[in-house]
Chain A
Amino acid sequence: MSPALLDFVEFSLAGLCVGALYALTGIGFVVVYKATRIINFAIGEFMMIGAYFFFGLAAQASLPNWAAIILALIAAGTVGGFLERFIFRRLIGESAISVFMVTIGLASIMVGLVEIAWTADPRSLPTFLPDRPFFVPLGSAEAFLASKNGWSFIIVAAIMAAFITVFRFWRGGIALRATAADQQAAYSVGINVPGVFSFAWILGAITAAAAGILVGSISGISSAMGAIGLSLIVVVIVGGLDSLAGALVGGLMIGWLESMASLYIGGEYKQVATFVILLLVLVVKPYGLFGTHDIERL
């Protein structure tokens, strides 16, 4: 096994693990978009507050990790539901751009609040994942995969499996899909559309918070960690804003590509590389790999 190949495999594995986290957050994003047509630029900040809630509960209030995680997710979901009820619901009918700018404004507010509560300094989360690296046998050698990466991949896979089941079979998931397909029709068959909006935001916030806790436990937290939201935007655009499968594929793909970019071009080019990909995708397939779009009529 040549060292170059080993590098490739190790970086690929690490990239796919990051990609899984992108995919998870991407799904939170897509759920909100499908239900409400809102592009949530604050998605990275939702991850951030989830991670900080966990930090506050586990490291500062010294709750057991499992309790802290659950409470942090509930708190994040509450924030999501609250914002939907008191901000986004009032903006129904406003232009997509206005609502997008509102999410940018909210991102800024969240960053400021976190800095007031916890300062801007980076911190590390209490460890709750087992600390034994994975070794993937590869011919005569073994590829190394950091424990946190590996475990977060497994956790993400489990959450997603649950997610997909819920979407297919549970009534709420069906209502959500119906609302996404045609809001008027959903109203007329008696679906509680505002309820679906709330549900989507709560779910989106919880998913983002879960991903935020995992990301934070891998690479620490800071008030600037919301910048990861930019990679997520690329993920969902590449996948198609309204496609859950797109978020999954896009997430893994961008995670892997970023890892490849840092291996072969250099870490500082990681983000540029993804943005070049974004431009290419938008020019070639403006609605992403799996996205749909409405035909314009006169």
Chain B
Amino acid sequence: MIEEADARVDAPILQVEAISLAFGGLNALRNVSLDVVPGCITALVGPNGAGKTSLFNAISGFYRPQSGRVFFEGRDITRLSAPPRAKIGLARTFQNIALFRGLTVLDNIKLGRHAHLRTSLVEALFYYGRPQREEIELRAEIEQRIIDFLEIDHIRHAPVGALPYGLQKRVELARALAMKPRLLMLDEPVAGMNREETEDMARFILDVRDEWGVTILIVEHDMRLVMDISDHVIVLNFGEVIARGVPAEVQKNEEVAKAYLGSGEIGSQVRQSVTEMAAS
């Protein structure tokens, strides 16, 4: 199936080739391969502990897989450390919000641009001429393209720690957008949000793909969201890919339903989503 889809569009933007990752005796990822098609939203789903976050961490360079390779836009980045991966356009958000509490919303977002800015230490000390222009331009761009877009202008000077959870997730998305992403990886962007907030976030994600032309890889438990917005779905269970394809196919896959229902510890939200999925 997926091969057919690939043939239609360009080469995959991200290729994960037979990655395996173990922590001591625990195999978090076993021989995982996947392709992410540019311009699409690819969803990565699976029960808790399936290895989704670990896969994100391996892609963004936080974990070193024991074997396998990662290609980004055709380039082998397996040996690249995390910061250069961020610079070439691998941006992400975190399952457990990782905003910097000592910075305001605006500074958190600006921080996303770090790797693309050029101000050196000495220039920073004097903040005169180019470094100042660079900051002001960044500010203008963030205001116009990100803050307005994500509707967070009322909180730009607020310290992030004081914000409600839903807004923090939005600021994380803003920061990732400031990274000039080519591939945006979202780890459970709507977890813990109510319906309304979820719908807002879904709208933003679709807009990011359509208006920014950014490819998206998303981990999410909310099946309704996944089915609504994604072009491809990949299902992970116990560190292995057990199904992949367009949402409608995956939905019908029996092994997938079993994986969800079979794992004792799935959250009620997931169970509900699966039921919803079966009902629809």
List residues of A whose CB falls within 8 A of some B CB.
Answer: 295, 298
Contact = CB atoms under 8 A, between A and B. Distances in A.
Nearest to B94: A298
A298 B57 CA distance: 8
Contacts of B98: 298
A287 B236 CA distance: 35
Nearest to B98: A298
Interface in B80-124: 94-96, 98
B165 interface: no
Contacts of A298: 53, 57, 62, 94-96, 98
Q: Give the 3 A-B residue pairs with the shortest CB-CB distance, closest first.
A: A298-B94, A298-B62, A298-B57
Given A298-B53, A298-B62, A298-B98, 5 more contacts: A295-B23, A298-B57, A298-B94, A298-B95, A298-B96
A298 B62 CA distance: 9
Contacts of B96: 298
Main secondary structure on chain B at its contact with chain A? loop
A296 to B, nearest CB: 9
Interface residues on B, range: under 10
Nearest to A296: B62
8 contacts: A295-B23, A298-B53, A298-B57, A298-B62, A298-B94, A298-B95, A298-B96, A298-B98
A292 to B, nearest CB: 13
Nearest to B63: A298
Contacts of B57: 298
Interface in B1-37: 23
A295 B23 CA distance: 10
Interface in B40-99: 53, 57, 62, 94-96, 98
Contacts of B94: 298
Nearest to B187: A298
B155 to A, nearest CB: 25
A206 to B, nearest CB: 38
Interface string B188-201: 00000000000000
A37 B94 CA distance: 28
A294 to B, nearest CB: 13
Nearest to B23: A295
B205 to A, nearest CB: 21
A298 B98 CA distance: 8
Nearest to A295: B23
A298 B55 CA distance: 12
Contacts of B23: 295
B144 to A, nearest CB: 31
A105 to B, nearest CB: 24
Contacts of B62: 298
A199 to B, nearest CB: 33
Contacts of B95: 298
A298 B53 CA distance: 8
A186 to B, nearest CB: 23
Nearest to B53: A298
Interface string B108-150: 0000000000000000000000000000000000000000000
A231 to B, nearest CB: 36
Contacts of A295: 23
A295 to B, nearest CB: 8
A295 B57 CA distance: 14
B188 to A, nearest CB: 12
A298 B23 CA distance: 14
B70 to A, nearest CB: 17
B175 to A, nearest CB: 15
A158 to B, nearest CB: 40
A94 to B, nearest CB: 15
Contacts of B53: 298
A73 to B, nearest CB: 43
A265 B132 CA distance: 55
A188 B24 CA distance: 27
A295 B94 CA distance: 18
A169 to B, nearest CB: 30
Nearest to B62: A298
A74 B112 CA distance: 57
B50 to A, nearest CB: 16
Nearest to B24: A295
B28 to A, nearest CB: 11
A109 B53 CA distance: 48
A259 B204 CA distance: 68
B11 to A, nearest CB: 29
B57 to A, nearest CB: 6
A93 to B, nearest CB: 15
A295 B28 CA distance: 15
Nearest to B95: A298
B83 to A, nearest CB: 15
A295 B53 CA distance: 16
A115 to B, nearest CB: 39
A298 B172 CA distance: 14
B29 to A, nearest CB: 15
B230 to A, nearest CB: 23
